[in-house]
Structure 1
């Protein structure tokens, strides 16, 4: 969850978010080195005495200033493409959660083993720290297991976003989008609808609780026996 004066990324709590942080660090290092090299060359040109003013062509120089940017782009593209493919790769999800966006709340369904469904609204008793983030019914997923999230909408465009878990998927009417998450840490994670969806857009929070497998099964059984 974001805090006041935070300028860095969220602390990653899923395998996809941790890898995105590594890609981000690699890109920033490459960009910083490139900018430093360009500034050095610019200062060198501004301070040096003009020479070789009669040059009309130089094949080696032209090859160099084309090949170096191409190499930099290649270095940036490889980890980025690997990250994109990794986000779509599935290894056999253990749990499937169906998310349906409404104006202005979320509906959740579990149907793998025990059929469970409930709605999640903004809680009117939100604390000052978690203002507009608390909900009456949380989503729960197990730690250390791949969870597939199927996201759609019943009315207008929404977006189911959880920055700490590296997820932001559009909820589109008539279409089902898929996201995969592999949580690494037990905890409670917050998100919000990230697509303007009407007057109450700011009042569609998301709260996901990552639980140990044993507690997740107990929670699923309890919700099935005592529907919310």
Structure 2
């Protein structure tokens, strides 16, 4: 009892000290956090870059004319009840597996329903005043064990094939593009084309509508990729865990700080394909859309050169960028109050 009383005295003293000194400490901590945030906002975005290389952000052209999206292609649709149509080899394979599994489920459900209805009618009380006392049937027990096992085996073969296809090693000549998640926007670096970086922020509703793009999916600067060419897409993050996901291209990969995840990435048709960050990453998680613009290879090369990047063999062949052939874009985001490459987030009073 004495020990119990001593513990109560110690606990009471600890609570009293926390009440007396806890509030000033918390206020001091809040003031320190506010000062740190103010200091971060005053830093030049180029100097504040963490993952991004400030020297790699090119000057841009200021004449970005984005490709017009195709209604219903690479984007969600009203009253949609199926997954989005796929525009990559892995996506088409996965969609075929998805439809096949639906039919497997339909057949199984119809068979089970038919058995239930037959049993309810055939063995109802009126038709069977004296119920059967049969308790075992070896044949039936073997069948309902073996058949489900064979069904699962049949499903496992294409499922394992899809997993293997998704994680095939990109070929040596694949173009490397790096997607970098920041709080709360995306950066796209092109290490094989001069290592410049494009910064992408969500457009406001009026600008998205003016461009004919879906609101909360449209961005000022898109991730531009070539069509029909294998890409080594590397995904990482500068601060917290994000996730790079484009449903119509069957691609989703976590962006983890300090880790470089990569997967093969290929788009089969020119167009604009939308996605979003799919990992809860903070207050503005819902404002991190992804827009992938797929161009034919010659236009992609022109776009790279127009951004101040390099194309292997272009100098030897005397190839120069044709500004009329491609949509040009600013590497630094044009959105008001949007941060630059690697910069800390800036508060926008309008959002």
Please, what TM-score do these two structures have when normalized by structure 1?
0.93
Higher strand proportion:
1
Inter-partner Cα distance in structure 2 for 1:151 and 1:68:
42
Q: 2:156 maps to what in 1? A: 77
1:154-190 deviation line (CA, Å, top 9, x unaligned): 1111111101111111111222221222211110111
Give the counterpart of 1:211 among 277, 283, 295: 295
Inter-partner Cα distance in structure 2 for 1:191 and 1:57:
54
- Cα 1:186–1:134 change in 2 (3 A) is same
Q: 1:195 maps to what in 2? A: 279
Larger radius of gyration: 2
Inter-partner Cα distance in structure 2 for 1:65 and 1:32:
18
1:42-89 deviation line (CA, Å, top 9, x unaligned): 111111135882334322221111011111111211111111111111
Q: 1:126 maps to what in 2? A: 208
Contact 2:193-2:304 at 8 Å conserved across structures: no
Q: CA deviation at 1:152?
A: 1.0
Q: 1:96 maps to what in 2? A: 176
Inter-partner Cα distance in structure 1 for 2:273 and 2:135:
61
Q: CA deviation at 1:21?
A: 0.5
Q: 1:14 maps to what in 2? A: 88
Contact 1:191-1:206 at 8 Å conserved across structures: yes
Inter-partner Cα distance in structure 1 for 2:136 and 2:289:
61
Structure 2 residue matching 1:224: 3-state secondary structure: coil
Contact 1:10-1:163 at 8 Å conserved across structures: yes
Q: CA deviation at 1:91?
A: 4.7
1:122-150 deviation line (CA, Å, top 9, x unaligned): 22322175112221211111111111111
The answer for unaligned runs of 5 or more in structure 1 is none
User: Which is further off, 46-55 or 181-190?
Assistant: 46-55
Contact 1:133-1:192 at 8 Å conserved across structures: yes
Matched residue pairs, number?
228
Q: 1:108 maps to what in 2? A: 188
Q: 1:5 maps to what in 2? A: 79
Q: CA deviation at 1:224?
A: 1.7
- Cα 1:122–1:227 change in 2 (3 A) is closer
Structure 2 residue matching 1:69: 3-state secondary structure: helix
Contact 2:198-2:223 at 8 Å conserved across structures: no
Q: CA deviation at 1:227?
A: 6.5
User: Which is further off, 116-125 or 14-23?
Assistant: 116-125
- Is 1:63–2:137 an aligned residue pair? no
1:68-126 deviation line (CA, Å, top 9, x unaligned): 11111112111111111111113515211111101011111111243221211122322
Contact 1:98-1:109 at 8 Å conserved across structures: yes
Inter-partner Cα distance in structure 1 for 2:77 and 2:134:
57
Q: 2:267 maps to what in 1? A: 183
Contact 2:168-2:263 at 8 Å conserved across structures: no
Inter-partner Cα distance in structure 2 for 1:149 and 1:113:
14
Please, what TM-score do these two structures have when normalized by structure 2?
0.62
- Cα 1:129–1:109 change in 2 (3 A) is closer
User: Which is further off, 164-173 or 51-60?
Assistant: 51-60
User: Which is further off, 50-59 or 109-118?
Assistant: 50-59
- Is 1:35–2:114 an aligned residue pair? no
